[in-house]
Amino acid sequence: MDKMIDRLMLLEKNNRNLLSEKEKMKSRISKLISRKGKFDSGMKTCKICAKEYNEKENFNWSCRTH
């Protein structure tokens, strides 16, 4: 019985992790869809902070990775 409870708790934890990952991917996809057509204008998305920035308007106080 204890093994089943432990297994259930593990599965619930995995389920929560997958749901949060799904929400992150949905938001990322919606950002990419909204950027459609902006690739030629120099718009990029930072891999660390996930904010969009223009390569030409990138300043030294911006995120240190872009």
pTM attached to this predicted model: 0.50
pLDDT tens digit sequence for 18-66: 999 999 999 988 888 877 765 556 777 788 887 777 777 776 666 665 5
CA triplet 26, 63, 21: central angle to 5 degrees?
A: 20
Query: 64 — alpha (psi -120 to 50), left (phi > 0) or beta?
Result: alpha
Per DSSP, the residues of 41-54 read: GTEEE-TTT--EEE
What's CA 25's distance to the chain center, in Å? 6
